[in-house]
Chain A
Amino acid sequence: MSFDVARVRKDFPIFEREVNGHPLVYLDSANTSQKPVQVLDVMRAHQERHNGNVSRSVHTLGTESTERYEAARAKVAAFIGAGRPDEVIFTKNSTEAINLVAHAAGQLLALGPGDEIVISEMEHHSNLVPWQLLCERTGATLRWFGITDEGRLDESGLDELVNERTKLVSVVHMSNVLGTINDVSALVARARQVGALVMLDCSQSVPHFPVDVRELGVDFIAFTGHKMLGPTGIGVLWGRFDLLSEMPPFLAGGSMIETVTMGRTTYAPPPARFEAGTPPITEAIGLGAAVDYLTGIGMDEIHRHEQEITRYALEQLSAVPDVRIYGPASPAGRGGTVSFGVEGVHPHDVGQILDALGVEVRVGHHCARPVCVRFGVPAMTRASFYLYTTTEEIDALARGLDQVRKVFG
């Protein structure tokens, strides 16, 4: 069956509403995605009919909850090509997943002065500040890849930047500002040469195109449920099982132990070791339902649709006078997230006028201030797309930008 955006949209109740008297035009999926009724129904049914705590009850409800929670883990594992479900750790979001690695892998690597961590200028603050803090704690040095004028990762200094002192490299798979999809094959090969671990922030990639952790050849990836049709409050850390088994815990408490005496504790194997306390059970099950939904449509189909929308958006936006697009100018090697500026108008004002027309975009520094600084602006306006985005919505955006130019012209 071929991809039919009109049919997809019927699954999302939010598209029935209006905003400020106009049909909702939701162009902020890179921030958070909308939820299909299939996900909402599964979560509601779980709460109404199966609710119990996981991994610690012998009763029927507890067993049903545990089965559903673990089934969600298996779905997520299959979705990203993980070798086994035990490599999938449920966290609160991407941010927590990255912090987990910064603490636990940081400790495993016994970092100290002279060691180096490498990130990039393209990072979301979530994949930047945890590494700054790790370097502060250990005396290691933080280094980073720059961004080229086209908005791509500048790998020209790869062999010098990733060297014998490098212990871990963590970069974004797809930029939440520029839309750039980073081909990390050269970076991974170089990291392997020098024995450094590699983490990818897949917050913007896993929701939008097929991601296979074995093909990528990395050690850890992080992503977040609410950007992939799932609820907030659930994220994922995937890690290679042998590495996870060596890592010390991050948060401590119930469920992550093997045995506890008053004097000392031994820890459960992964993933339980990294899931202290009662997890977001309903949210994990909701994420499992989101994975089912995405798989049902097909990630290849979704990517193809977003490529078409992106091509159309790039054409339409470049035709608006005074609009400057940041990031790759053609759909090749980029995803459906387009940031731009309107000459002479601050993004806040752009966003406000668009909102009055029902067009929801994000404005600001997008939690990636260094990217804005790199392009010499304090803020940008960003339109981001998903499987439910239509060309009519791009037209509404372009019309809105005409209105912006009228008010501020």
Chain B
Amino acid sequence: MMLDGLYQDIILDHYKHPHGRGLRERFDGEAHHVNPTCGDEITVRVNADLSEISYDGLGCSISQASASVLHELLQGRDAHDAGEIHQAFVELMQGRGQVEPDEEMLGDGIAFAGVAKFPARVKCALLPWMAFKDAAARAGVEVGASPEVKA
């Protein structure tokens, strides 16, 4: 069934058992993003050295699993690496299914390759990543790409 591309086991695992969920008290930057068409929401908090990335949110399996993967991939990285991974994830999501993901860099994030073929869901996957970028900027760290989301 064509949905196999969307609901990979890795995504469902992250959705059912999220990593790093729950907001930490200490942080340097915070951002709250909403997807106005569907009501999904996420809050992301980061420390200036990215040693702590925490989040909480309400949303579909794609947006919540994406937040869990973000936490796993970016927490504890330096700004340069985090920026590269961020860029790679955004490119993957905007590739309309044409981008070959780099497993070494994206880890479980490669499971989102299938999401890129569902334009209505790309925004869900990117929601935590955009909130992270804003939270980091508020903590004084510039990371990642600013996509033009045309979904």
Contacts and interface: CB of A to CB of B under 8 A. Distances in A.
A355 B142 CA distance: 39
B7 A20 contact: no
Nearest to B16: A408
A369 B3 contact: no
B145 interface: no
Contacts, number: 50
Interface residues of A, number: 18
B62 A378 contact: no
Interface in B3-30: 3, 6-7, 12
Which secondary structure characterizes the binding site on chain B?
mixed
A365 B12 contact: no
Contact of A348 (B1, B41, B124): B124
A352 B3 contact: yes
A363 B40 CA distance: 11
A346 B3 contact: no
A364 B38 contact: yes
A365 B2 contact: no
Contacts of A364: 37-39
Contacts of A372: 39
A379 interface: yes
A309 to B, nearest CB: 27
A353 B121 contact: no
B38 A349 contact: no
Given A349-B60, A407-B7, A408-B61, A356 B39 contact: no
A303 B118 CA distance: 36
Interface in A327-354: 345-349, 352-353
B122 to A, nearest CB: 12
B2 A20 contact: yes
A380 to B, nearest CB: 9
Contact of B38 (A345, A348, A353, A356): A348
B59 interface: yes
B2 A369 contact: no
A379 B38 contact: yes
Contact of A378 (B37, B58, B61): B58
Given A352-B118, A364-B38, A379-B39, A346 B2 contact: no
Nearest to B1: A356
Interface string A312-326: 000000000000000
A378 B61 CA distance: 14
B39 A369 contact: yes
B3 A378 contact: no
A342 to B, nearest CB: 12
Taking each of B39, B41, B59, B62, which has the highest tally of chain A beta carbons within 10 Å of its own beta carbon? Answer: B39
Interface residues of B, number: 20
B60 to A, nearest CB: 3
A348 B151 CA distance: 15
Contacts of B39: 364-365, 369, 372, 378-379
Interface in B105-147: 118, 121, 124
Contacts of A353: 3, 7
A244 to B, nearest CB: 34
A378 B121 contact: no
A356 B121 contact: no
A378 B12 contact: no
A356 B3 contact: yes
Interface string B95-113: 0000000000000000000
A356 B6 CA distance: 11
A363 B61 CA distance: 14
Nearest to A353: B3
Given A378-B58, A408-B12, A348 B40 contact: yes
Contacts of A369: 39
Interface in A350-409: 352-353, 356, 363-365, 369, 372, 378-379, 407-408
Contacts of B37: 364
Interface of A: 20, 345-349, 352-353, 356, 363-365, 369, 372, 378-379, 407-408
Q: Which 4 A-B pairs have the closest CB atoms?
A: A348-B60, A346-B60, A378-B39, A364-B38
27 contacts: A345-B61, A346-B59, A346-B60, A346-B64, A347-B38, A347-B60, A348-B61, A348-B121, A348-B124, A349-B62, A352-B6, A353-B7, A356-B1, A356-B2, A356-B3, A363-B38, A364-B37, A365-B38, A365-B39, A369-B39, A372-B39, A378-B39, A378-B40, A378-B41, A379-B38, A379-B39, A408-B61
Given A346-B61, A352-B3, A356-B1, 7 more contacts: A346-B59, A346-B64, A348-B121, A349-B7, A349-B62, A378-B40, A408-B12
